[in-house]
């Protein structure tokens, strides 16, 4: 199988998806559209968490801090400049990325669980300061000051388009990245950092980039999520459940794969709609159910549902796994041993 047809198929899929996202607001009602927006934003966040955990081997339990930074940055800048929030959206990922770049220095001294919990402590510290600071609304939070500039006839569709666009761009960019030498380096660090270092992969540098990108993506998705609510409060923004959701989605679907979080988000929202809708259970029981699924998946199929399915069915979608170079290709293309088939 040559890479070309796969690429054509993916391109066709992308065009279809773009068309679906563009047309969906004209077909779906407002409630379903809101749910779809939420799904897409959570999918983006899960992909970002997965970039860090699944590819760079850093499990963050404090990723809510980037969501909060992005969202607060959007709310405050939009208030100061008095422009429609959509035009100041780029501020959100920039602020989140800048924060990540700064705290990477102390945090990267720690490994594994120590990194995870230190991230959580960092989120708690920032959350506590936010609640104390009256300038950002304290514990009661702030409404979106420029909400009067929003055209509410088109608000839900615009939010959906932004979320859909962000999701598609994220997945395409991650796919591209994972088939590049940077992605290969990242995965080699995850698999064996000592071996990766010995062949010249800059472990710290790769982890740093993944961390900053992951923070930026979460910042943007978080900003969009709170923009949809028109209101932000620290208890919601710094909620550790953001990390819980991202983690469960990635783990259940398949950590370290691009398809995994997509499957994970379907299970996540499917279960939520079934458990809190027809079954009439509370949000707490829903989290219990989700947690049980995650724990069972980790014990039975530690790589997640998607990799197990993929091996059984032989289906490959956005596969970025390394394939052994074929002799012919190796002869034609120098450096083909580094190639990745799609």
Partner 1 sequence: MIWVETLINGALLGGLYGLLGIGLALVFGVMRVVNIAHGEFMVLSAFCAVLLSNLFPQVSPLLMLIPVIALSFAVGWLYQAAIVNRVVTSPDPLSPLLLTFGVSVILRNVMVEIFGADVRSLQVGELSRASLEIAGLNIGIMPLLTLVLAALLFMALQLVLRHTEFGRIVRATADRRDIVRLSGVKPDRVYNYVMGLSLALGAIGGVLLAVRSSFTPFSGAERLLIAFEVVVLGGLGSFWGALLGGIALGMAQLIGLKIDPNAGLLYAHLLFFIMLLIRPSGLVSSRV
Binding positions for partner 1, rule: CB under 8 A? 53, 57, 59, 61, 106, 109-110, 112-114, 116-118, 120-122, 124-125, 128-129, 132, 240, 244, 247-248, 251, 282, 284-285, 287-288, 290-292, 294-295, 298-299, 302
Closer by beta carbon to partner 1, 311 or else 338: 311
CB 286 to partner 1: min, Å: 8
In the complex with partner 1, which residue's Cβ is closer, 166 or 186? 186
Shortest spacing between CB 174 and partner 1, in angstroms: 19
Q: Which is nearer to partner 1, 9 or 195 (CB)?
A: 195
Angstrom distance (rounded) from CA 139 to CA 57: 34
Cβ at position 101, least distance to partner 1 in Å:
16
Alpha carbons 189 and 222: distance in angstroms, whole number: 28
The radius of gyration computed from the CA coordinates of the chain, to the nearest angstrom, equals: 21
In the complex, least distance from residue 47 CB atom to partner 1, rounded to whole angstroms: 17
Residue 172 beta carbon to partner 1: minimum distance, rounded to whole angstroms: 26
Q: Between 108 and 161, name the residue whose CB sits nearer to partner 1.
A: 108
Q: Work out how close the CB of 63 gets to partner 1 at its nearest, in angstroms, rounded to a whole number.
A: 13
Quickly tell me which residue has 């699944």 as its tokens: 54
The helix/strand/coil state of 232 is: strand
Nearest approach, Cβ of residue 114 and partner 1 (Å): 7
The smaller minimum CB distance to partner 1, of residues 14 and 296, is found at 296
Q: Which is nearer to partner 1, 74 or 290 (CB)?
A: 290
Which residue, 19 or 125, has its beta carbon nearer to partner 1?
125
HSE-up (13 A, CA, CB side) for residue 242: 31
Which residue's CB is nearer to partner 1, number 272 or number 341? 272
Please, what is the minimum distance in Å from the beta carbon of residue 255 to partner 1? Answer: 8
Interatomic CA distance for residues 154 and 13, integer angstroms: 27
């Amino acid at each position: 199988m040559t890479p070309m047809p796969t690429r054509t198929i993916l391109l066709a899929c992308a065009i279809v998806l773009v068309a679906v996202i563009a047309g969906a607001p004209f077909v779906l009602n407002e409630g379903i559209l809101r749910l779809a927006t939420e799904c897409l934003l959570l999918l983006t966040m899960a992909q970002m968490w997965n970039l860090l955990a699944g590819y760079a081997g850093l499990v963050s339990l404090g990723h809510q801090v980037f969501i909060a930074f992005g969202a607060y940055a959007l709310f405050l800048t939009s208030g100061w400049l008095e422009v429609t929030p959509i035009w100041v959206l780029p501020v959100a990922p920039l602020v989140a990325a800048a924060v990540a770049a700064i705290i990477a220095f102390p945090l990267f001294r720690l490994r594994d669980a120590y990194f995870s919990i230190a991230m959580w402590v960092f989120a708690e510290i920032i959350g506590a300061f936010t609640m104390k600071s009256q300038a950002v609304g304290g514990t009661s939070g702030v409404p979106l000051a420029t909400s009067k500039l929003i055209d509410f006839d088109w608000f839900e569709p615009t939010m959906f388009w932004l979320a859909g666009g962000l999701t598609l761009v994220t997945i395409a960019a991650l796919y591209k990245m994972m088939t590049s030498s940077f992605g290969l380096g990242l995965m080699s660090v995850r698999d064996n950092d000592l071996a990766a270092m010995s062949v010249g992969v800059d472990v710290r540098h790769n982890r740093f980039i993944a961390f900053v990108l992951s923070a930026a993506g979460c910042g943007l998705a978080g900003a969009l999520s709170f923009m949809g609510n028109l209101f932000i409060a620290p208890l919601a923004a710094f909620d550790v459940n953001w990390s819980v959701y991202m983690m469960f989605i990635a783990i259940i679907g398949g950590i370290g794969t691009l398809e995994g979080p997509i499957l994970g988000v379907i299970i996540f929202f499917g279960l939520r709609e079934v458990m809190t809708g027809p079954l009439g259970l509370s949000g707490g029981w829903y989290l219990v159910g989700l947690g049980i699924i995650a724990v069972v998946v980790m014990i039975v199929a530690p790589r997640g549902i998607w990799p197990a399915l993929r091996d059984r069915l032989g289906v490959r979608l956005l596969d970025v796994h390394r394939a052994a170079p074929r002799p012919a290709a190796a002869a034609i293309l120098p450096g083909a041993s580094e190639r990745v088939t799609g």
